[in-house]
Amino acid sequence: MSGLAAAIAGRPVHLHIDCDVHDPGLFTTDYVVPDGLTLDDLRACATAVAGSEVIGIEVAEFEGDGDATADDLVAMLDPILTR
């Protein structure tokens, strides 16, 4: 995810997490994306973003019925939330 950190280049970031782009079954959503993002991918993105000023985080399409919980989602954002 070094490309993400370079693209952001220290600019303020509003992070929008749309749960329907994750691996099928991870989160229950109306849309399924085969080979979508994993929780590890989300954590890598959060690590890349953590070097910038985060001005907002929003989560869309989270229904809470999949394999991952809200706690799992928040844990992957730990690099941003604990800096």
Q: For 27-39, what is each residue's pLDDT tens digit?
A: 888 887 788 899 9
Question: What's the number of domains the chain is made of?
Answer: 1
Give whole-number Cα distances, 64 to 15, 33, 61, 73, in Å.
Answer: 20, 17, 9, 10
Arithmetic mean of pLDDT, 11-15: 94
Arithmetic mean of pLDDT, 55-65: 88
What pLDDT is recorded for position 64? 75
Residue 24's pLDDT band (cuts 50, 70, 90): confident
12 contacts 52 by C-beta, under 8 angstroms: yes
Arithmetic mean of pLDDT, 55-73: 88
Domain that holds residue 71: 2-81
